[in-house]
Amino acid sequence: MFYVTGDVHADIEGFKKRGFQGIRQKDCIVICGDFGLIWNGSEQERKIARSLGRKRYKTLFIDGTHENFSLLESCPVTEWCGGKVQVISQNLIHLMRGQVYLINDKRIFTFGGGESVEKEMRVAEKTWWAQEAPSRAEMEEGVENLEACGWQVDYIFTHEAPASLCRLFDSDFEEPNVLNVYLDQINKRCTFKKWVFGSYHRTKQMTGQHNVVFEGVLKLD
């Protein structure tokens, strides 16, 4: 079982109160970006990471826009379940961009990152990092990995949404960013059962295959 939820923004107490009842050892919590607990490298952060890492289940997150990417990039990259990951602490794992994993017999594609709409109000390398936007190499790797599995996966987890989905819940949406357009192409070409994304601070089923999550929890078996 996958318990999929949205942005945590470093609110660990609020995160613990989400609907994870009945979670078993082989289950996974998936956070669709803006985990926010890789931020200042403090002892308190490391304590939280160790606590999550010791859980019997796995806590998996993709990056969003509110992460300290300089700190995140300092974590070693290894391979797990067929894709690149960064193990933050035992069972607390960062699922990287453009990867395909086989987890609990489900094939999963992940792509984090995005574009902060308020970045002009932030301070570079302190509250905002340019690495939030995907690189061309990351996007190309994502296409290569999807081609390798015949463009067929079970679940897709991203932080941002395909451009066509953005227009469904934001009538003022005008200009998609590069990542929105990239994800739209994947949406058109890839076969999948469910696509879940965060970022937009709401929980709603958008289509039969697409869900946006925030503080809610979507259970996928």
Q: Residue 182: in which H helix or E strand, if any?
A: helix 178-189
pLDDT 10s digit of each residue in the chain, 221 long? Answer: 999 999 999 999 999 999 898 999 999 999 999 999 999 999 999 999 999 999 999 999 999 999 999 999 999 999 999 999 999 999 999 999 999 999 999 999 999 999 988 888 889 888 889 999 999 999 999 999 999 999 999 999 999 999 999 877 665 666 789 999 999 999 999 999 999 999 999 999 999 999 999 999 999 98
The CA distance from 51 to 58, in Å, is 12
The CA distance from 23 to 9, in Å, is 22
Q: Residue 88: in which H helix or E strand, if any?
A: strand 83-89
CB-side neighbour CA atoms (13 Å) of 134: 28
Residue 11's CATH number: 3.60.21.10
Q: Phi first, then psi: what are they for 31, rounded to 5°?
A: -110, 120
Provide the number of structural domains found in the chain.
1
> Residue 11 sits in which domain range?
2-220
